Amino acid sequence: MKKIIIIKYGELSTKKDNINFFLKALKQNVSNSLGNIKHTISYDFGRMFVDVLEDDINIALDRIKNVFGIHEVIIGYKDANIDIEVIKENVLNLVKDKDFKTFKVLTKRSDKNYPIKSMDVSKMVGGYILKNISNIKVDVHNPELLIEIEIRKDEVLYYFNGIPGLGGYPVGTLGKGLLMLSGGIDSPVAGYLAIKRGVKIEAIYFESPPHTSEAAKNKVIKLARTLAKYNTTVKLHVINFTKIQETILRNIPHEYLITIMRRMMYRISAIIAHNNKCNILINGESIGQVASQTLTSMRVINSVIKMPVIRPVACFDKLEIIDLAKKIGTYEISTLPYEDCCTIFVPDHPVINPSSIKAQEYEELIPYKELIHEAIKGHEVISVGIKEDKEYEDIL
Ligand code: ATP
Ligand code: MG
């Protein structure tokens, strides 16, 4: 018997016509997640198998758990002998040292030509185990140990209680999106949810030195690195926003500062997205959270671009967002105490129901197109993620 990692697909199996495309992507993403761990991957429409050295199997499992498009991941055993007597003996050997009081055997035959029906295989194996191990019994509803047997064409798989995967689609199968990534709690969660649906993300961060610090930027890089666990790598576009913000602050009535500032962010983001083949923008806006996220504000801000904007946390409560941030490992980074470029320019009374016409009139007061052009020309790109870590694998 050979120890092997087994991947079950879940929602992916509903992709009838182009399942091959999705599986190929999943294979690539699993391979990327394994990085420097030596591995071979094979798959069919039912299962994917990852073969690594026995010493690497737990760390490999840990990495694969973060790959989207997986329903369940399990360390199991594969054997080429499909004889029922061998199956009985193999199962007994695998479970005899495990600690359990109740169990159930569940058999699947993907090879329907196998001469014994699934139910009968389960009964025969179950009976054999009961005969050879004392003080245990069968519990079909809530067994402590679920023994699964899969009889395939020329092999049998054995496995026990699997680990749930993250679900979703393999990253990249739905194209690319640009995440507006601030140092807050919401935007990393929004990015995670988009990645989960198969969107590969790049990120954009607006900084305003010296009003924002190097530490604030490092915090965003850290967040990008955490998202890279799910996305493989994150290309982070950093835009120097200082001149635009200072110009807005000097020339525009203060109740419209945030509205205009966000319209500028949207314009720049849409251009960077377009230049990098991203189809959509993604951000962490949540309905009603602050003045710039009322429905009227969203409309006035969104109206300056044609590109679709996806807001994965728009309808989440803050507490729901925080829960998810904790689960995905971004909460602790997001709550580090560094200012970001929005918070330092917050006026006392931001407009709650801005008007598009007024916003346009105010923008005419500044040479915004030139400012945008200049900001984009000077933009910096930082690549973070597994690939980057690979270069330092002897140290990290
Ligand atoms: P918080 O968790 O405190 O709400 P936030 O990042 O959501 O933080 P908001 O002011 O609510 O901050 O901004 C709404 C959205 O706009 C963010 O989720 C993010 O997508 C985008 N955004 C805000 N500031 C920046 C920035 N400096 N760079 C890139 N995107 C930003
Ligand atoms: Mg927010």
Q: Given the CA of residue 289, which atom of ligand 1 is nearest to it? A: 11
Structure tokens at 260: 């205009």
Separation of alpha carbons 95 and 160, rounded Å: 9
Q: How many A from CA of 288 to the centre of ligand 2?
A: 10
Ligand with minimal distance to 183 CA: 1
- Residue 181 C-alpha to ligand 1 middle, in angstroms? 7
Atom of ligand 1 nearest to the CA of 290: 11
Kindly state if the Cβ of 206 falls inside 6 Å of ligand 1: yes
Residue-wise pLDDT for 210-226, tens only, equals: 999 999 999 999 999 99
The distance in angstroms from the start CA to the end CA of the chain is: 34
Give me the number of domains the chain comprises: 3
Q: Which ligand is nearest to the CA of 316?
A: 2
Same domain for 236 and 330: yes
Query: Are the C-beta atoms of 159 and 98 separated by less than 8 Å?
Result: no
Q: How far is CA 141 from the centre of its chain?
A: 33
Is residue 272's pLDDT more than 90?
yes
Does residue 132 register a pLDDT over 80?
yes
Distance CA 347, CA 304 (A): 22
Same domain for 227 and 123, yes or no, is: no
Query: Distance between CA atoms of 38 and 358, rounded to whole angstroms?
Result: 60
Question: 109 and 32, same structural domain?
Answer: no
The sign of the torsion formed by the CA atoms of 256, 261, 264, 269 equals negative
Q: Is 171 part of any domain?
A: no
pLDDT digits (tens, 9 = 90+) for 13-35: 777 778 899 999 999 999 998 98
**Residue 340 in contact with ligand 1 by CB distance below 6 A:** yes
pLDDT, tens digit, 9 for 90 and up, residues 307-354: 999 999 999 999 999 999 999 999 999 998 876 655 667 777 888 899
Q: What angle do CA 21, 27, 30 make, to 5 degrees?
A: 140
Are 206 and 265 part of one and the same domain? yes
> Is residue 274 over pLDDT 70?
yes
Q: What is the pLDDT of residue 395?
A: 46
Helix (H) or strand (E) holding 301: helix 295-302
Task: Evaluate: CB of 285 within 6 angstroms of ligand 1.
Answer: yes
The residue segments making up the domain with residue 268 are 176-392
Residue 129: CA atoms inside 13 Å, Cβ hemisphere, count? 30
Q: From ligand 1's centre to the CA of 187, what distance in Å? A: 6
Give percent above pLDDT 70 in the chain: 96
Q: Which residues pair with 52 in a beta bridge?
A: 39
Ligand 1 atom at minimum distance from 341 CA = 27
Residue 162, in any domain of the structure:
no
Residue 387 has pLDDT above 60, yes or no: no
The CATH number of the domain where 6 resides is what? 3.30.70.1510
pLDDT-derived band of residue 396, with 50, 70 and 90 as boundaries? very low
What whole-number distance in Å separates Cα of residue 170 and Cα of residue 167? 9
* Model pLDDT for residues 73-93, shown as the tens digit of each residue: 999 999 999 999 999 999 999
**Upper half-sphere CA count for residue 226 (Cβ side, 13 Å):** 23
Structure tokens at 311: 């807001």
| Residues 114, 142 within the same domain | yes
User: In a mutational test of the pocket of ligand 1, which residue from 178, 179, 180 has the highest number of ligand atoms less than 8 Å from its CB?
Assistant: 180
Q: Are residues 23 and 88 in the same domain?
A: no
CATH number at residue 147: 3.30.2130.30
244 with 333, same domain? Answer: yes
Contacts of range 313-322, beta carbons closer than 8 Å, 24 or more positions apart: 313/186, 313/189, 313/190, 313/193, 313/284, 313/285, 313/286, 314/285, 314/286, 314/287, 315/286, 315/287, 316/189, 316/286, 318/185, 318/286, 318/289, 321/185, 321/186, 321/189, 321/286, 322/185
Percent of the chain at pLDDT > 90 equals 83
Cα-Cα-Cα-Cα dihedral of 216, 221, 222, 228, to 10°?
160
Å from CA of 276 to ligand 2 middle: 25
Q: Which ligand is nearest to the CA of 286?
A: 2
Is 290 found in the same domain as 230?
Answer: yes
Q: Which residue has the tokens 């929004």?
A: 190
